[in-house]
A and B are shown apart, each in its own frame.
Chain A
Amino acid sequence: MDFTVQNYKDTRSGFGEGLLEAGKRNPKVVGLCADLIGSLKMDAFAKEFPERFFQVGIAEANMIGMAAGLSIGGMVPFTGTFANFSTARVYDQIRQVVSYSNKNVKICASHAGITLGEDGATHQTLEDIGMMKMLPNMTVIVPCDFNQTKAATIAVAEHEGPVYLRFGRPKVANFTPADEPFVIGKAQMMQEGTDVTIFACGHLVWKAVQALPILKEMGINAELINIHTLKPLDVEAVIASAKKTGCVVTAEEHQLNGGLFDSISQVLSMNCPTPIEPVAIFDQYGQSGTPDELMKHYHLDTEDIVAAAKKAVARK
Chain B
Amino acid sequence: MTWREWKKRLSEFLEIPNDVMLNLPRVVLMGNLQAFIENHRGILEYTPQIVRVGIEEGELEITGEKLILRNILPDEICVEGMIKTITFK
Say whether A and B bind each other: no
Q: Which residues of B contact A (CB under 8 A)?
A: none
